[in-house]
């Protein structure tokens, strides 16, 4: 059987979705080629689990070309950081060349040319590049990861976000559920909708804070951005999140896209993970 290429396979600080997809496929005895950014302990663990390792930078065609040789299905993820569009364009071009049949690509819930954050608009462009390559793209348009809230409360013990009213509504999902749908789609033989909206729980920020056991504190967006770089580590993430939180504050009590979606249960075979379950886990 052809190996399934899983990018972001080492996992990272956002949702670790590539790592979870790689592990799920390996547990099902499927051949995995794990694309990793560096040869470190995470890569060694993947090798021990039975993955073949492809090493390199997803923005570099000379790294992606050998990694996609002989591959028919792939999982594409790239963190909220500089270079996502370069990586998607490279993946689309090489995927087309090698005759990729399905790529499951992580995107964002609001991906659209008019979306409220620059990175959501970039995701829409990335979706277009993958679609035009005719490589069976399925876009996982995911809500805010629970993991994101965990980062937000780190250090202060408060959910300090520029979300305005405590009644501002957030669409949320566990990184594990995004990965569960990704692995499920990769294992599905028949046709799959090219866009899957993914939200596992919809709640106000006050409810989210209560579940996490911390107070919610509304903060000024500029003040938030000035402190966020130390938590999120890169300027693209801070720019994206500053726009995202203010967009949710402006939307207020909800949007038609803010609803729990059936795709999670459809592809994982179980209900979405709740924030309460996530908060009780040690990961």
Ligand X SMILES: NC(=O)c1ccc[n+]([C@@H]2O[C@H](COP(=O)([O-])OP(=O)(O)OC[C@H]3O[C@@H](n4cnc5c(N)ncnc54)[C@H](OP(=O)(O)O)[C@@H]3O)[C@@H](O)[C@H]2O)c1
Report CA 66 to chain centroid distance, whole Å.
24
CB of 212 to ligand X, least distance (A): 15
Asked if 34 interacts with ligand X (CB under 6 A), we say no
Residue 43 sits in the site that holds ligand X (CB under 6 A): no
13 or 156: CB nearest ligand X: 13
Q: Token pair for residue 151?
A: 């980062």
**Mask: binding to ligand X, 102-121, rule CB under 6 A, as x and -?**
----x-x-------------
- 12 or 162: CB nearest ligand X: 12
Q: How far apart are CA 253 and CA 168, in angstroms?
A: 5
DSSP per-residue string spanning 122-190: HHHHHHHHHHHTTS-EEEEEE-EEHHHHHHHHTTTSSEEES--STT-EEEEE-HHHHHHHHHHHHT--S
> Smallest distance from the beta carbon of 78 to ligand X, in angstroms?
6
| Consecutive H or E run containing 105 | strand 102-108
Stretch binding ligand X (CB under 6 A), from 74-82, 94-102, 183-191, 264-272:
74-82
Helix or strand or coil: residue 113? coil
Q: Which of 117, 169, 151 is nearest to 228 (CA)?
A: 151
- What's the DSSP call for residue 272? P
Q: Whole-number minimum distance, CB 190 to ligand X, in Å? A: 25
Stretch that binds ligand X, among 77-85, 155-163, 227-235, 248-256 (CB under 6 A): 77-85
267 binds ligand X (CB under 6 A): no
CB of 74 to ligand X, least distance (A): 13
Shortest Å, Cβ 14 to ligand X = 3
Q: Does 24 bind ligand X (CB under 6 A)?
A: no
Stretch binding ligand X (CB under 6 A), from 96-104, 139-147, 212-220, 250-258: 139-147
8 binds ligand X (CB under 6 A): yes
Residue 171 found at the interface with ligand X (CB under 6 A)? no
Distances (CA, A) of 221 to 185, 240, 241, 262: 37, 12, 10, 33
Binders of ligand X: how many residues, by CB under 6 A?
Answer: 27
How far apart CA 40 and CA 62 sit, in angstroms, is: 21
Alpha-carbon distance 178 to 112, whole Å?
19
* Residue the block writes with tokens 């277009």: 128
Contact with ligand X (CB under 6 A) among 83, 116, 164, 233: 83
Give me the residues that bind ligand X (CB under 6 A), please.
8, 10-18, 37-38, 57-59, 77-80, 83, 106, 108, 142, 144-145, 148, 175
């Amino acid at each position: 059987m052809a190996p399934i290429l899983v990018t972001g396979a080492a996992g990272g600080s956002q949702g670790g979705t590539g790592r979870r997809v790689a592990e799920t496929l390996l547990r099902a005895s499927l051949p995995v080629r794990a694309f990793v950014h560096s040869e470190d302990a995470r890569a060694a663990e993947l090798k021990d689990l039975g993955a073949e390792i492809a090493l390199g930078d997803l923005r570099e065609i000379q790294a992606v070309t050998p990694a996609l040789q002989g591959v028919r299905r792939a999982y594409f993820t790239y963190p909220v950081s500089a270079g996502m569009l370069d990586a998607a364009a490279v993946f689309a071009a090489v995927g087309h060349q090698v005759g990729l049949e399905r790529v499951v690509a992580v995107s964002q819930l609001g991906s659209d040319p008019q979306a409220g954050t620059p990175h959501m608009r970039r995701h829409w462009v990335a979706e277009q590049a993958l679609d035009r390559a005719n490589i069976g793209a399925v876009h996982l348009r995911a809500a805010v990861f629970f993991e994101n809230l965990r980062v937000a409360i780190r250090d202060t013990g408060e959910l300090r976000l520029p979300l305005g009213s405590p009644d501002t509504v957030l669409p949320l999902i566990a990184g594990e559920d995004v990965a569960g749908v990704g692995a499920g789609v990769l294992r599905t033989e028949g046709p799959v909708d090219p866009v899957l909206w993914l939200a596992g729980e919809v709640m106000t920020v006050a409810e989210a804070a209560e579940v996490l056991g911390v107070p919610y504190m509304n903060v000024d967006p500029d003040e938030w951005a000035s402190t966020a770089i130390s938590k999120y580590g890169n300027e693209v993430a801070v720019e994206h999140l500053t726009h995202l939180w203010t967009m949710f504050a402006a939307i207020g009590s909800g949007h038609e896209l803010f609803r729990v979606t059936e795709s999670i249960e459809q592809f994982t075979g179980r209900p979405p993970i709740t924030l309460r379950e996530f908060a009780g886990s040690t990961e």
